[in-house]
Chains A and B, each alone.
Chain A
């Protein structure tokens, strides 16, 4: 009898969530967050300091390995605790709260 190809994943690795990873988005507003970057250059473009960019390695389901970078932790809901650069709001009119008036959307 011919051998059937397997239909389930050979390996499932997580790099962000769970025990080995960062906080999820359901945390309280004061919980810090980190951005992930595909390359060190992209991390440095945001943060400037190589010490702020932490190299990580992910093993994919096919056994190959790929690298990515963590930026430093920063506060959510606009409460950045670092010197992270962002476009200035000077002269700009920014409003919030225009989305989210419904609720949970799972289906």
Chain B
């Protein structure tokens, strides 16, 4: 795994915008093709195997949490535990998730966290970096490859979803309407769903209606929403005004409710408890003081690095945010690789049940945030 500094395509902005990647320069520089990462095929095989392994272990962890009723540890509200368990026992399909790894090409990738409910940076990983590969790398090196079959696996997953509901059932896609990044990702999900034979509609999350007479959620045309694909966290839905209605309605939600257990940082100590010394896991606990060396504090529900605190060599590096009241976990610190002034984290995607690709994020801080730059990769 090496970083290469390269000349960007002269038309990179236009190319990003042509695929709906309008947020390529959000917060300054987001998409950054002034550099790229080159892997060996063996390194990619290692990442792919780690992704498949951790997906399987996470499913083991869900079974454990549900059967042993470990919901307290994850601060799952009591009213929601049966809903989560029913979702798991019904084997409701999952579309996607993204594991974040610390990996420098040596040894085993270490799981930092699992974005299992509302993973983003999907359009850039699936489409933008593929077009960069085809336009920038492969003309000079036709054998160059990229770990990225996200697009066809997403379409295949939507085909699998579509046979689980009545023909012609539309899927409503929702997110916060003024979040350009969320909407870019959601629009892409709509695109691949359409290619998978799904009828799609958009509704802003704040426009979702509740028909108290019929006991169903409705769209702007007052038509029942039967299937809702959301980029909006489960724990937020559960805590908001319409949350109780989700407990009783027949609404099908993607991602399913059982993903609440995997998007929670409490997953990390449970994985370590179930699979101690696993090569892809870091020691993690619900209690402070059990890790002798450097460690990281993470709120159970933190997103985009918010309120993460790294304790390293007697110093602390902290990210701001509004999380932590719900509880924290403590994880052994695994430094992410550093190239020049930049730290890089590898996001490894699972689509359905299959590893499907990676996306890399760079930052001048070892804590990856929503502003961390997306850098393309290839392997030879």
Residues of chain A at the chain B interface (Cβ within 8 Å): 4, 6-9, 12-19, 21, 24-26, 29, 33, 35-39, 42, 45, 58, 60-62, 66, 68, 76-78, 80, 84, 86-89, 91-107
Contacts and interface: CB of A to CB of B under 8 A. Distances in A.
Contact of B201 (A8, A29, A35, A60): A35
Given A38-B198, A58-B195, A98-B240, A93 B211 contact: yes
29 contacts: A8-B133, A12-B126, A12-B151, A14-B127, A16-B187, A16-B191, A17-B190, A21-B191, A24-B22, A24-B187, A25-B173, A33-B201, A35-B200, A42-B168, A61-B152, A68-B194, A68-B195, A86-B223, A89-B211, A94-B209, A95-B210, A99-B236, A99-B242, A101-B236, A102-B236, A103-B179, A105-B303, A106-B185, A107-B303
User: Which of under 10, 10 to 19, 20 to 34, or 35 or more describes the interface residues of B?
Assistant: 35 or more
Nearest to A79: B220
A105 B231 contact: yes
Contacts of B207: 77-78, 96
Contact of B19 (A18, A36, A78): A18
B205 A100 contact: yes
B363 to A, nearest CB: 15
Given A8-B133, A17-B19, A105 B127 contact: no
Given A17-B187, A38-B198, A12 B211 contact: no
B325 interface: no
A26 B23 CA distance: 11
Contacts of B167: 38
Given A7-B145, A25-B187, A104 B182 contact: yes
Interface of B: 17-20, 22, 41, 44, 48, 115, 117-121, 126-127, 130-131, 133, 145-152, 155, 162, 167-168, 170, 173, 175-188, 190-191, 194-195, 197-202, 204-214, 218, 220-224, 231-233, 236-237, 240-242, 245, 263, 303-304, 357, 370, 379
A72 B221 CA distance: 15
The 4 A-B residue pairs whose C-beta atoms are closest, nearest first, are: A98-B242, A100-B206, A17-B20, A86-B221
B222 A26 contact: no
B231 A106 contact: yes
Contacts of B200: 16, 35-36
A18 B224 CA distance: 29
